[in-house]
């Protein structure tokens, strides 16, 4: 009973040996060919690859013939809208509001009263200052008269001194008389100095009184707080009866007939932005606007190393609001670039972004590129020659210097 399983196992072993080890001979026997012919066929099949065409050994790739095109490469940044002008109008004196408040949203004109304050004693103070000015001016003729009188006394003293000197020289006048004449001259000179000082004091008094009048008038002007420009009230004006002190808020006025788009451009692209360049923006509301660059900062933000850019946009209908988010595109000088599939981008051994090209003798070359922009059709790349053959399929399976078999795709 044990002999049959042993024989069966031996037969299976022989069959497996023939199937695995002597497969070629077994196939030749099954097809009616002797083993010698099978050996010859094997040698022929091994020699066939050596005689095959070299193209069969090359990696097959698909390449695109691309020619550079001029494109308008815009500087893209994100920003916000800002009012052309926004001012918090504040009180400059202490007084109680006596006017009804103006409600926010109201359009106001330059010079229109926003808050009227109680005048208090200010009119009386102005009248007093004017009276002091009149009094100071009245003293001026008196001071001038005193100066003229002093000059007259000096002339008289000089005449008397001259006469006394002659008489004393001839022996007809005593030394006492000569000394008295000299003293009278010195007294006249002192009177002139005193009169001139009095005249200067009078002039100073006039100026002080005039300054007092100006201060009183200015203080009286402060009781009416005016709009600095045409605009809209962003807040209610101060409530009736409220007490305002210097620095207290009366109202906030914004001007929106022109709007500013404010953004920050990276330092790598700031040289591409020039004053007067056309800029377009899409607001968060979906509205699209156009304006011109009016300001480019000369000083970078100390933290972000970006430069502030302002674009002025007309807004006659006041449809654009202050503080809206905007995607801004600023026109910059055009550049030449290639439009290629995004899949054509690859990295070299040191991590440079670039594309692989088909060069002379159909050998692969690598060239780094700069990404300018992307679209639904592909990516715009610069840094390549005018005309190139870029590998778009199979570039990940080849390296620089490898020979390839290329199939060209003419259009993209």
Which tens digits make up the pLDDT trace of 252-275? 999 999 999 999 999 988 988 999
> Structural domain boundaries of the chain?
3-52, 61-71+335-409, 122-221, 253-330
Pairing of strands 335-340, 379-382: antiparallel
Please say whether the beta carbons of 348 and 356 come within 8 A: no
Stretch 298-321: mean pLDDT, rounded?
A: 93
pLDDT digits (tens, 9 = 90+) for 86-111: 999 999 999 999 999 999 999 999 99
Q: Tokens for 274?
A: 């020039």
Beta-carbon contacts of residue 344 (< 8 Å; ≥ 6 apart): 64, 355, 390, 391, 392, 395
Please say whether the beta carbons of 310 and 293 come within 8 A: yes
pLDDT digits (tens, 9 = 90+) for 156-167: 888 888 887 787
- Using CA atoms, how far apart are residues 395 and 379, in angstroms rounded to an integer? 17
pTM, two decimal places: 0.56
Pairing of strands 59-67, 404-409: parallel
pLDDT digits (tens, 9 = 90+) for 341-365: 998 999 988 989 999 999 888 899 9
pLDDT digits (tens, 9 = 90+) for 190-240: 888 888 888 888 888 899 999 999 999 999 999 999 999 999 999 999 999
The fold adopted by the segment(s) 122-221 is Helix Hairpins (1.10.287)
Model confidence at 37: pLDDT above 80: no
Nearest to 81 by CA among 273, 270, 328: 328
Select the more confidently predicted residue: 326 or 172.
326
**pLDDT for 372:** 81
pLDDT digits (tens, 9 = 90+) for 44-54: 444 444 434 45
What CATH superfamily classification does 253-330 receive? Efflux pump adaptor protein, beta barrel domain (2.40.30.170)
Q: Which CATH code of 1.10.1660.10, 1.25.40.10, 2.40.420.20, 3.30.365.10 fits the domain covering 61-71+335-409?
A: 2.40.420.20
**pLDDT for 138:** 86
């Amino acid at each position: 009973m044990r002999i049959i399983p042993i024989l069966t196992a031996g037969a299976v072993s022989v069959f497996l040996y023939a199937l695995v080890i002597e497969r070629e001979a077994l196939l030749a026997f099954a097809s009616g060919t002797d083993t010698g012919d099978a050996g010859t066929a094997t040698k022929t099949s091994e020699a066939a690859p050596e005689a095959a065409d070299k193209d069969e050994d090359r990696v097959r790739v698909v390449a695109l013939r691309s020619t550079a095109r001029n494109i308008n490469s815009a500087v893209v940044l994100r920003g916000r809208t800002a009012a052309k002008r926004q001012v918090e109008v504040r009180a400059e004196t202490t007084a109680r509001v006596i006017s009804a408040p103006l409600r926010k949203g109201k359009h106001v004109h330059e010079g229109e009263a926003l808050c009227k304050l109680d005048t208090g004693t200010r009119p009386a103070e102005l009248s007093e200052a004017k009276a002091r000015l009149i009094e100071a001016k009245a003293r001026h003729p008196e001071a001038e008269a005193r100066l003229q009188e002093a000059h007259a006394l000096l002339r008289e003293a000089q005449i008397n001194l001259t006469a006394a000197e002659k008489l004393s020289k001839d022996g007809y006048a005593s030394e006492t008389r000569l000394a008295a004449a000299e003293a009278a001259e010195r007294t006249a000179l002192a009177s002139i100095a005193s009169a001139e000082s009095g005249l200067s004091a009078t002039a100073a008094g006039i100026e002080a009184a005039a300054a007092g009048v100006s201060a009183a008038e200015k203080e009286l002007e402060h009781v009416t707080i005016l709009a600095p420009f045409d605009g809209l009230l962003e807040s209610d004006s101060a409530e009736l009866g409220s007490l305002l002190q210097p620095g207290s808020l009366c109202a906030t006025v914004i001007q929106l007939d022109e709007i500013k788009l404010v953004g920050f451009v990276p330092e790598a692209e700031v040289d591409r932005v020039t004053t007067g360049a056309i800029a377009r923006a899409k607001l968060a509301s979906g509205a699209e606007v156009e304006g011109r660059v009016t300001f480019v900062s000369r000083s970078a933000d100390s933290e972000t190393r970006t430069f502030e850019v302002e674009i002025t946009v007309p807004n006659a209908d006041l449809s654009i609001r202050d503080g809206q988010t905007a995607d801004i595109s600023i026109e910059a000088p055009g550049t030449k670039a290639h439009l290629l599939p995004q899949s054509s981008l690859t990295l070299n051994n040191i991590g440079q972004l670039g594309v692989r090209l088909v060069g002379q003798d159909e050998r692969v070359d690598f060239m780094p590129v700069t990404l300018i922009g992307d679209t639904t059709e592909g990516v715009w790349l610069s840094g390549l020659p005018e005309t190139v053959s870029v590998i778009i399929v199979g570039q990940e399976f080849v390296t620089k210097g490898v020979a390839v078999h290329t199939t060209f795709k003419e259009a993209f």
